[in-house]
A and B are shown apart, each in its own frame.
Chain A
Amino acid sequence: MSGTQLLFYIFAAASCLGAVAVVVSQNVVRMAFWLMVSLGSVSGLFFLLHADFVAATQLLIYVGGTVVLLVFGVMLTASGKHVQIPTSPAEGFLAAGIGSLFLAMIVSTVASVNWGDYRAKLDPQYNAIVALLGDDETFQVSEEHPEGVELAKKDVPEEHQQYVWPIYESVNSDALTRAELKSAYQGYKQDNKGNTARPLGLALLGVRPDRDLGKETDDKLSTGYLLPFEIVSVHLLVVLIGAAYLARAKRRVDQVDET
C-alpha cells in the first residue's frame, strides 16, 4: 500500500467517523467540532486527489466560514435547553431510513460509471500521448515508430500539438525519442498535478480546456458558468441584506415603543 493510499484511508475514515459523531453526539458545539473534523478530512481527500482549488475552497467556505458561523450562532443562543438536543428513537429510525436510501443512490451511481472510459474521455493530453506512443502502459515498439528514432516537435500531428508541445517545452527540447517523450510526459504530469485554478477559471468564462481547445470549429463551445454563478451570489447577497433588514427593523420598533 502506497503512502498516498494510506493517507486516503486515514482521511476517508476520519470524514466518515466525524460524520457519524455529528449524528451521535447531542451537544451542539461538539457536533460543530465533529462537523469540522469531517469537512476538513474531505478537504484532505481533495488535496490527495490533486484538486487543490476545491480543497482550499472547502476549507475556506465550510470549515472556516460555515462552521464558524454555526458555532457563533450557537453561542449567541446558547442556554441550557438548546445546547443539548436529544433525539427520540422514531426520529432516529426516520433519519436512518432516509440516510441509507441516499447512500444507496450514491453507491449505485458510482457503480454505474465506467471509470476507465471516463479518464480517456476527459484527458485529451493522455489521448494524444496514447495516439503518439501507442498504449502508454505496454509501450509497444512498432515499425512506424521505432524506439530510437526521434520525434521532432514540428512533426507532431496538428490535432495533438497543443497538448504535446508543452511537454516538449517542459524539457526544453525539439526532438525526443518515444522513451524520452514518455518520461517527459510523466514528469510533466507530476509537475502539473493540482493546477486546477486556471482551467476552472477558464471554464467559468466558457472555455473548457479539456474539451474545447482541440475543436476546429468554435460553434459548439461549452457554456460558461460565470452568469449562473453571479446570479447565485447576488441572490445570496439579497437574502443576507433581507435578513439583516428584518433583524434591524424589529429593534427599531422596540426603541420607538420605549420612547
Chain B
Amino acid sequence: MMHALIAEASISHSLEQQLGLSSGVALLIATFIHAFLLINFFAVVPLFFIWLERKVSGRIQDRLGPTRVGGRFGWLQGLADGIKLIQKEDLVPKAADSMLFRMAPYIVCVASFGAFMFLPFSDGWVAVAADIGLFILLAILSLEVFGIILAGYASGSKWSLYGGMREAAQMVSYEIPVAICALVPIVAVGSLNLNEIGAFQSGWFFNWLIFHDPFCFLAFFVYFTVATASCKRAPFDLAEAESELVGGFHTEYSGMRWSFFFMAEYASMFLVSAVAAYLFLGGWHTGIGPLDDLFVSLRNSSAASGEFEVGSYLANLIGMSVIVVKGSLLVFVQIWIRWTFPRLRIDQVMMTCLKYLVPMSCALFLGAVIWPLLMARMTGNTTWKEPLGKKVSVARPEKAEESTEGREVRQ
C-alpha cells in the first residue's frame, strides 16, 4: 500500500514491463516523474492564486487589479512578480542567525510540498497512496509552522520575533480543532484513506459527506474557519499583521526567500481546500449522479484490456479537474473572506479558538459518534450506508476491489 518514501507505482511497473528496465531504475524514474509533476503543480498553483488574490481584492475594493502584464486580465502578473523577485538581492541581516535564517523558507516550502505527496488528484492519482493518507497529510502540514517560527526567531528583529511567537501560539491552538473537525467525516466513512473517502461519496450531491448528518454539515464550516486560520490567512493573519508588525515573521526577508513563504502559503491554502473537498464536498465527484455514472463506465470500459487505458485516463483527468475546481472555489472564498473581514486582535484570535472552536469541534465529534447509534435505534434499521469502504467497490472494476489503496498514478 504505502510504498515508503519512494512512490512506487504503476508508472514504475509499466517502465519495468514495457521498457525492460530493472526495478530499481524504474522506481527511481517513477519517483522523479511523480516529484516533477507535483513540483510543477506546486509552483503553478501559487502563481495563479496570487493573481486571483490581486484581482479579487481589486474588484472588492472597486479597482481593476492587474491589467497590464499579459492581456486584458493581467494574468501574467504572477510570473512578472516572480521575475522581479528572482532579480532581487538576497539579504541576510547582521543580527540574524544566518544558517537558520537561510533554512527557514526551505522548511516551510518542503512541509507544504511534502503534504501534496499524499493528496489524491483523482481516483487513484496520488504520488504516495497511504492507508492513513489524511493523517500523514495533516502531520506533514503541521511542520510548516516550524519554519515560520524559525524565520521569526532567526531574523534578529523584534517584529519578526513577535510574528513568530504569535504564529507559534496560534498554530499550536488551531491544530487541535483542525484535527477534530477532520475526524467528524472520518467517523462516517470509517477510513483515513483519502481515496476511499472520495469513493464513498459517489452519486448525487446529497451523498456528499457534508449532507451525511447535521454534525458533518456544521463541521464543514468549523473546519473551513480553522483551516483558513491555520494557513494564517486574514482575518487570522496575526503573524504578519502589517499594521502592527511591519511584516511580521518575514520583515527581514527579500527576494526568492521571501517568495518561498508565499508559495507555501498559497499552496497550503489550496491543499486545505482540496482536503475540505475530499472530506465534505464529494472529492472528485461532480455531484450529478448520471454524469458520475458516465465517468465510471468510461473508466470501466477500458479496464478489461491490459493496454493503455484511455478511458480510465480520461475519467481521471476529469476527476482531477473537478478537484482543482472545487479547491480553487474554496480558495476563492478564503480570498473573499480576507478582503471582507477586519483583522482580529491576537487575544481575540486565541479566544475564538480555545473558547469557541475547540468546544464546538469536540461537541460535533461527540455528536457524530452518537448519531449512527441514535439513528439505528430510532429507525430500527442498522443497514444504512455501510462504512469501511464497502461502497468503494461499486465504483470500480471487480478486480481492483481489494487493492483499492494500492492504485497509484496511472500513466
Contact = CB atoms under 8 A, between A and B. Distances in A.
Given A4-B6, A56-B136, A172-B398, A194 B149 contact: no
Interface in B277-319: none
Contacts of A188: 402
Nearest to B136: A56
Contacts of A195: 1-2, 131, 405
Nearest to A1: B24
B5 A68 contact: no
Nearest to B141: A64
A40 B406 CA distance: 25
Given A2-B24, A75-B168, A193 B1 contact: yes
Interface string B1-20: 11111100000000000000
A3 B6 CA distance: 9
A195 B129 CA distance: 11
B165 A60 contact: no
A27 B402 contact: no
A191 B27 CA distance: 16
Interface size class on chain A is 35 or more
Given A56-B132, A67-B146, A190 B406 contact: yes
Contacts of A135: none
Nearest to A67: B146
B406 A191 contact: yes
Interface stretch (A43-51, A114-122, A136-144, A245-253): A43-51
Interface in B178-197: 192
Interface in A1-56: 2-4, 7, 27, 29-30, 33, 36, 40, 44, 47-48, 50, 52-53, 55-56
Nearest to A11: B5
Given A72-B165, A75-B164, A75-B165, A191 B150 contact: no
Interface in B377-410: 398-399, 401-403, 405-406
A55 B97 CA distance: 30
A69 interface: yes
A64 B143 contact: yes
A207 to B, nearest CB: 16
A78 B132 CA distance: 38
Contact of A72 (B5, B142, B172, B192): B172
Contacts of B152: 75
A170 B192 contact: no
A63 interface: yes
A204 interface: no
B150 A71 contact: yes
Given A53-B132, A194-B1, A60 B138 contact: yes
Contact of A29 (B28, B100, B135, B143): B100
B60 interface: no
B171 interface: yes
B56 interface: no
B139 A194 contact: no
A69 B27 CA distance: 38
B175 interface: yes
Nearest to A189: B1
Nearest to A58: B139
B406 A75 contact: no
A172 B146 contact: no
A60 to B, nearest CB: 4
A56 B139 contact: yes
Nearest to B142: A64
Interface in A50-102: 50, 52-53, 55-57, 59-60, 63-65, 67-69, 71-72, 74-76, 78
Given A47-B5, A75-B164, A29 B150 contact: yes
A75 B130 contact: no
B52 interface: no
A170 B399 CA distance: 8
A71 B153 contact: yes
Interface string B89-119: 0000000010110010000000000000000
A64 B171 CA distance: 10
B131 A33 contact: no
Nearest to A200: B132
A116 to B, nearest CB: 23
B366 to A, nearest CB: 15
B149 A27 contact: no
B136 A52 contact: yes
Given A60-B138, A75-B152, A194-B130, 18 more contacts: A3-B27, A3-B28, A4-B6, A59-B140, A59-B143, A64-B145, A64-B175, A71-B153, A72-B149, A75-B161, A188-B402, A191-B403, A193-B1, A193-B2, A195-B2, A195-B131, A197-B135, A197-B192
List the 10 closest pairs (A to B, CB-CB), nearest first.
A194-B2, A64-B142, A191-B406, A60-B139, A170-B402, A72-B168, A59-B139, A56-B139, A56-B136, A195-B131
Interface of B: 1-6, 24, 27-28, 97, 99-100, 103, 130-132, 135-136, 138-140, 142-143, 145-146, 149-150, 152-154, 161, 164-165, 168-169, 171-172, 175, 192, 398-399, 401-403, 405-406
7 contacts: A29-B100, A29-B153, A33-B103, A40-B143, A44-B5, A53-B135, A56-B132
Interface of A: 2-4, 7, 27, 29-30, 33, 36, 40, 44, 47-48, 50, 52-53, 55-57, 59-60, 63-65, 67-69, 71-72, 74-76, 78, 166, 169-170, 172, 187-188, 190-198
